[in-house]
Structure 1
Amino acid sequence: MDKEWIKLPRYSSEYIDGVEFFLNYAYTNGKPQGGEILCPCAKCHNTCWEVRAIVYDHLIGYGFEKGYDVWIRHGEVLTDMDLDGCMEDDDDSVDDIEGLLHDTFRDVAEDNELNKGLNDDAKKFYNLIEEAQQELYPGCKNFSTLSFTIRLYLLKCLHGWSNASFTSLLGLLREAMPHLNIPDSFYKTRGMIKDLGLDYEKIDACPNDCMLYWKDHKNDFSCHVCGASRYTKSSTENDENKNAHKVPFKVLRYFPLIPRLQRLFMCSKTASLLRWHGEERSKDGKLRHLVDGEAWKDFDKRHPDFAIDSRNIRLGLASDRFNPFRSMNLSHSTWHVVLIPYNFPPWWCMKAEYSILSLIIPGPKSPGNDIDVYLQPLVDDLKLLWESGVETYDASKNQTFQMRAALMWTIKDFPAYAMLSGWSTRGKLACPC
């Protein structure tokens, strides 16, 4: 289909007619759900289901998502010609796995000193570099074993494949193409992903939000506050089978903060920009960045030992709830906690790739004031980063330093403000200050 109209000004009659054509096509071929389709505008990025009128307004106001030239989410089929064209014309389609590994593990493999007694980083590096250099099959130029495995794992995450189905797919590929050099199970694949530093911790929680089964309580079977069972009744009925898998009522997902902050310094470009606020910004007295604000300046006066090194991280914490099931008539409240490093210049601070997802707090109900129970792993990391810091390699200066971090402020709506602060924001004794 001719889609040149997408590039025209959004106020032109050709563009407006094109939007109407797209909507008619999407509602005819795209299998709308309850009168809603995924909105492909530059703001929603095919992640929000909206009715026709809203999609129309968004496409006129924001335009189409950049690069969404084949409407695969709205009924158009990706043909062989499209696939060939993508491979030939898009230079960015080549996976720079070697660059990824060097950014993640710096140059640990290039120092001869490390070869005498390999540390953990070097061992992981050697294992992954071996995978990255192996051909997927003899003569394959487009994929290595590692790049193909990562791409396949990405598809699993995007389309919600189960672990068992992913293992079955790997088995089928290996059976049909014995020369294919890929892992034979989901768990081996996940091990490779873990080595890239993309892992998270699962921590069981009390169904009534009383406690985490963590540290000293890691092996407990019931809550020491309310007495509720850790596991669902169906998973504990057969007590004879001690090795049976038990299903917990609630599971907190925690993405460790420290390795993610350390990884920012492993790439020389991001490492140098983390010093931007202290070394490169314009100091003409105008308010251009949070470093020019009174809160930042007052913090530096109170803690000069922290402020002396511009590489120390200033963090903001944002939290809100969302319904992962999309149905607005379903009362479900899952909470996420995101950390934003404000050392970067303004045009980098709010980029999605530098917003660090830290916690996913399970529903179905809001934790309320008990959110502090779920914040414990993050608070532990923040206390360590504030009090003593962690040894970190700075690729831009080729040196190791003691990285510290401080939580400067929180970002939330009014109900979440009450939860995070523990104060009352409504009723007779409400005090927002």
Structure 2
Amino acid sequence: MDKSWMKKPRHTKEYVDGVNEFLKFACENCPIDSSICCPCRKCGLRMMFMPNMVFDHLISYGISQGYTIWHAHGERKGEASYHAIGAQNNNEQINEGSSGMTTILHDVFPMFDPEIVEGTGPEIRVEVGEAGVQYENRQDSNERVNKFYNMLKDVDEPLYEGCTKHTKFSAIVRLWNMKCLGGLSNNIFTELLEFVNELLPPGASLPKNTYEAKKYMNELGLGYEKILVCPNGCMLFWKDNENLETCVVCGASKWKRKESMDESSKKGKRSPAKILRWFPLKPRLQRLFMSSKTSSQMKWHAIGRTNDGVLRHPADGLAWKTFDS
């Protein structure tokens, strides 16, 4: 049985045809109208769904790469057929290397949960044509669905034709990580993007400047909110005080003062004297609990520890328990 489709990008016709063949094989080895194990990367054979639900999961999350013998769906070890590794093309290598990026993307856009697929959320229709998989959002107002599919396309497609190391998504994430860790200014990062774009062959589409890269990364939930602050640090111009022009404590203006400002320039855009960049805690905690890799670690102190009176971890100590209380 040909299983090379398992390493194909999920937007290709070969992958979707393979999913259909897999479901046909699974249904032949199970009772009629019964649930089957879902081998997607999220469920990992831990959940049972109807075949149409399993199809949606395999298209959304991809099939587990280690599930080469379909033992949970009626296949025996002696029946499995294997293929030469050299038959993989560039897109297969890209798909395998970007599995971590796909996991990140699904953590940010958890919109294909079972209850959503069954109809309580946005309805998604998948069509297969000559150009591959076409996704149609029946609720055009749902921008997150469209953003998800745009990024999903960037995860699966190589950065340029023939590239086997990076996709557009992974390249942008890697460059942005360098900017943050290295403390690059916006101007320097824009020059870096311009230079990298000059080096890349035609067809590559990296952001042209820092603004475009920041806008792209904000879709991953990595943005922040700007709050104007009193230049002397007395108060925040926030919530009920957002429309105030001066500090209620020291009377300082929240805008920069220009000594040579004439009447025409006063009508232009004003620059804030000081800005606080607020990174909201709640969505970041939600992100940690949404990720399959970090959720177990986040819950370990509550459900994973051995509470037998023995000091095995600082969390078992009196100081830690006092802090928790």
The TM-score by the shorter chain falls in which range? 0.5 to 0.7
State the partner residue of 2:54: none
Question: Deviations along 1:305-327, whole A, 9 cap, x unmatched?
Answer: xxxxxxxxxxx7xxxxxxxxxxx
Instruction: Structure 1 unaligned segments of length 5 or more: list them.
Output: 1-93, 299-315, 317-407, 410-433
Q: CA deviation at 1:273?
A: 3.4
- Answer 1 or 2: higher relative contact order, Cα 8 Å, separation at least 6: 2
Q: CA deviation at 1:175?
A: 5.2
State the partner residue of 2:172: 149
Summarize the alignment of residues 129-148 of structure 1 with structure 2, pairs less than 5 Å apart: 129-148=152-171
1:231–1:247 Cα contact (<8 Å) kept: yes
Question: Deviations along 1:116-157, whole A, 9 cap, x unmatched?
Answer: 447555343223212222321112111111111222223333
Aligned residues: 208
Amino acid at match of 2:269: A
Matched, 1:273 2:277: no
CA distance in 2, matches of 1:292, 1:161: 42
CA distance in 2, matches of 1:157, 1:236: 36
Amino acid at match of 1:170: L
CA distance in 2, matches of 1:129, 1:218: 38
- Correspondent of 1:283 among 307, 312, 318: 307
Corresponding residue SS for 1:129? helix
Summarize the alignment of residues 337-416 of structure 1 with structure 2, pairs less than 5 Å apart: 408=324
CA distance in 2, matches of 1:280, 1:109: 25
CA distance in 2, matches of 1:128, 1:150: 12
2:256–2:270 Cα contact (<8 Å) kept: no
Corresponding residue SS for 1:287? coil
Summarize the alignment of residues 32-51 of structure 1 with structure 2, pairs less than 5 Å apart: none
2:255–2:270 Cα contact (<8 Å) kept: no
2:229–2:275 Cα contact (<8 Å) kept: yes
CA distance in 2, matches of 1:236, 1:263: 48
- Correspondent of 2:250 among 226, 233, 239: 226
Q: CA deviation at 1:194?
A: 0.9
Q: Structure 1 residues 136 and 238 mapped into 2: Cα distance closer, same or farther (>3 Å)?
A: farther
State the partner residue of 1:244: 269
Q: CA deviation at 1:277?
A: 3.1
State the partner residue of 1:200: 224
1:236–1:246 Cα contact (<8 Å) kept: no
CA distance in 2, matches of 1:229, 1:280: 52
State the partner residue of 1:104: 108
State the partner residue of 1:213: 237
Instruction: Structure 2 unaligned segments of length 5 or more: list them.
Output: 1-96, 125-137
State the partner residue of 1:302: none
Question: Deviations along 1:136-185, whole A, 9 cap, x unmatched?
Answer: 11121111111112222233334443323433443454456442211223
Q: CA deviation at 1:103?
A: 3.0
1:104–1:196 Cα contact (<8 Å) kept: yes
2:227–2:236 Cα contact (<8 Å) kept: yes
State the partner residue of 1:389: none
Question: Deviations along 1:52-72, whole A, 9 cap, x unmatched?
Answer: xxxxxxxxxxxxxxxxxxxxx
Q: Structure 1 residues 275 and 140 mapped into 2: Cα distance closer, same or farther (>3 Å)?
A: same
Q: CA deviation at 1:261?
A: 0.8
**Which structure: greater strand fraction?**
1
Corresponding residue SS for 1:170? helix
The percent of aligned pairs where both chains have the same amino acid is 41
Corresponding residue SS for 1:204? strand
